[in-house]
């Protein structure tokens, strides 16, 4: 079994109160991944299978 793939994402919004949504660039389908709020400016995405480079769009919204 492969270890999970963790991808860091810097968003710079200055808050842990963020909502994260991911979607596939080719199909527009929602993509599910684990999200960890590491700091007020960074999150980590946890995938069981690594996505292809530039295949996923990440949207981060400040909810605070």
Distances in whole angstroms, Cα of residue 17 to Cα of each of 1, 11, 23, 25, 36 = 33, 12, 20, 25, 12
Number of domains in the chain: 1
Query: In which domain, by residue range, is 13 found?
Result: 5-62
Rounded Cα gap, residues 3 and 46, in angstroms: 10
For 29-52, what is each residue's pLDDT tens digit? 999 999 999 999 999 999 999 999
Average pLDDT of the segment spanning 18-22: 98
Task: Indicate the pTM of the whole model.
Answer: 0.89
- Residue labelled with tokens 């069981």: 48
């Amino acid at each position: 079994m492969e270890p999970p793939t963790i991808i860091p994402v810097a968003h710079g919004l200055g808050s842990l109160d963020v909502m994260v949504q991911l979607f596939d660039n080719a199909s527009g389908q929602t993509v599910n991944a684990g999200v960890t709020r590491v700091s007020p400016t960074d999150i980590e995405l946890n995938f069981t299978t690594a996505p292809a480079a530039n295949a996923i769009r990440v949207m981060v919204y400040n909810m605070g």
